[in-house]
Amino acid sequence: MISREERIRGGFWGLLIGDALGVPYEFTAAHDIPPLEEIDFEPPTGFNKAYPYVPAGTWSDDGAQALALLDSLLTCRKLDLDDFAKRLLAWYERGEYAVDYHVFDVGIQTGEALNAVRSGTAPTQSGWVRPEGKGNGALMRVLPLALWHRGTDEELVEDAHRQSLVTHAHPTNQVCCALYCVWARRLLSGMDVNAGYLDAVRTLREIYPQGSVYSAELEWTIRPEDGPVADGSGYVVDSLRAALLTLQQPDYEQVVKSAVAIGRDTDTNAAIAGGLAGIRDGVSMIPEKWLRDLRGKEIAEPLLTKLLMVAL
């Protein structure tokens, strides 16, 4: 049996490693991605890397924002949007939580929202900078909330919604984050991928009032009964479906490589799927070479130690 500690460690490292694995392949169409057996931190010779000067094994904005969220939760002992927004700005402006303090990948809406925060917009409003923006920038970072949270499902859903507001406030983003967090919680309890997903959907249907905007987003935008298909885009629903699709693979390595193989937003989709695969499989199933070669562990490990102290 996989212990809760092993699952938390797996989710934590699974997100960061999935992000780092996908970084070199970002923006690449699926037909140009190397075969699964050749996907690694360092792509095969001759592959045109997205960020040629970023060393192999480096996480991007996904991992940095996830660490900023976790640090805020651990420091404030609750979700404090003012504190979280300040930490996102510290990443954006000074490279806090980034490996080598190097910020090399910032989503357009995220940048605009953080510029709004810097100009005085409240973090509850900054994510409306693009009212119809439905990118995956809030979903990619939310997993630490589920790993840390000890409240009810209703409280977890509310906090998942609220953390989205800082950069991606549209209800589609909020509901995707809530579904992902409850799904992660079910995997932490030992449920399998598909049963956990269906139970998370059932839970949201119980929590959201019928006729509410959140209920409508769940049923008519996410459409949870639809078969999971994905084209690698940065659309938040597509990224959620990519996680469900790739999590049909039998182990962590195959999940994240399959997420990269979809192409395009490879780092984010591998981070989103990788976090859940790490919970499902436990840290021992993450390839040792990736755990060893991931850069920036001196930033991440102290936060993981603090997380385990409050989450176990």
Given this model, what pLDDT does residue 85 score? 98
Residue 153 in contact with residue 207, Cβ under 8 Å? yes
Report pLDDT for 241: 97
Residue list for the binding site for Mg(2+): 60-62, 265, 267-268
The pLDDT, as a whole number, for residue 228 is 87
Give 218's DSSP letter.
I
Tell me, yes or no, if the pTM score tops 0.95. yes
- In whole angstroms, give the CA distance from residue 172 to residue 153: 19
Is residue 148 within a helix (H) or strand (E), and if so which, with residue range?
helix 143-148
pLDDT for res 227: 85
Burial of 143 (0-12, 13-18, 19+ CB in 10 A): buried
Residue ranges for the chain with pLDDT beneath 50: none
Q: Are 1 and 282 in contact (CB under 8 A)?
A: no
* pLDDT tens digits for range 230-274: 999 999 999 999 999 999 999 999 999 999 999 999 999 999 999
- Domains of the chain, first to last: 4-35+58-311 (1.10.4080.10)
pLDDT at 305: 98
pLDDT, residue 225, reads 92
**End-to-end Cα distance, the chain:** 16
Cα 41 from chain centroid (whole Å):
18
Q: Which residue has the tokens 């360092």?
A: 42
| Residues making up the chain, counted from first to last | 312
Q: What are phi and psi of 150, to 5 degrees?
A: -120, 10
pLDDT tens digits for 72-82?
Answer: 999 999 999 99
Which residues are known binding-site members? Answer: 60-62, 265, 267-268
User: 93: which 2 tokens?
Assistant: 């402006």
**d(C-alpha 269, C-alpha 15), whole Å:** 10
